[in-house]
Amino acid sequence: MSTLTITALQSSLHWLDKDANLAMFDKQLKAITNQPDLILLPETFSTGFAINLDCAEPENGKVLTWLKAQAHKHNAVIAGSVLVAQGDKKANRFYWVKPDGEVSYYDKRHLFRLGSEGDYVVAGQARKVFEINGFKLLPQVCYDLRFPVFQRNNNDYDVMINVANWPAVRRHIWDTLLMARAMENLCYVVGVNRVGEDGNNIAHNGGTAVYDFKGDALTKAKDNTEQLVTVTLEKAPLDEFKAAFPAYLDADSFSLI
């Protein structure tokens, strides 16, 4: 039976201090007592959501080197988003790093207009699906969650991941959309959010959670608390549910330009 064990880190972030963040996550990762297949970190985990400031990594910089070392050390895929230099702008890049050092990535597609993210960040163009343990996973980053067309499951993924810096003031929307995406796409959904106040005085209260394909919560982190959340997903119940309730066969046909 195919299973996938995921550990998500709900954490505060040190504003613009990469060394402090990497040291903090290194300590938190040492507290993992099980053996996850996949470790998830929040959006812009090395800097905070500092899109308008000079904090971008080179494409093969310190943070990616750290991710490779952690993936090897913990014998797990490790993933999270990093601001990476792209010409005179940045990419909000979701890195997917395997224990053998192989790196894949997804660049955030939907840029947060309210925060002027598009003025500083290049929008990703490619929809990516990664594979692990017989599961196919669709990576998404924060604001992507509001745009269901891009996330529509064409029966090509089993788990949707969203890593975020989602503010407390819009927390109800985060919770609701995570559940909705699970139900409408007949998939597991894993949402990983931060806690604490950032350098722009924006508060975040968490909401890290895992939902099954019926929208039921399998596990949730406590609000306003740094916490490791671990869950083991099973492929068979998902496949059985989709066989008994194949709503995806009645989905509207469309294409993305």
Q: Is 253 a member of any domain? A: no
Read off the CATH number of the domain in which 61 is found: 3.60.110.10
Q: Is 219 a member of any domain? A: yes
In the predicted model, what is the mean pLDDT of residues 45-62? Answer: 95
Domain of residue 242 covers 3-247
* DSSP letter, residue 142: G
Q: Is 252 a member of any domain? A: no
Q: Is 254 a member of any domain? A: no
Q: Is 149 a member of any domain? A: yes
Phi, psi of 8 (to 5 degrees): -110, 140
For the stretch 143-170, pLDDT in tens is: 999 999 999 999 999 999 999 999 999 9
For the stretch 184-232, pLDDT in tens is: 999 999 999 999 999 999 999 999 999 999 999 999 999 999 999 999 9
Q: Is 148 a member of any domain? A: yes
State pTM to two decimals: 0.97
Residue 240 CB neighbours (<10 A): 11
Q: Is 129 a member of any domain? A: yes
* CA–CA distance, 52 with 45 (Å, rounded to integer): 16
Indicate the number of domains in the chain. Answer: 1
If you average pLDDT over every residue of the chain, what do you get? Answer: 96
Q: Is 257 a member of any domain? A: no
Give the catalytic positions in this structure. 43, 108, 142
Burial of 141 (0-12, 13-18, 19+ CB in 10 A): buried
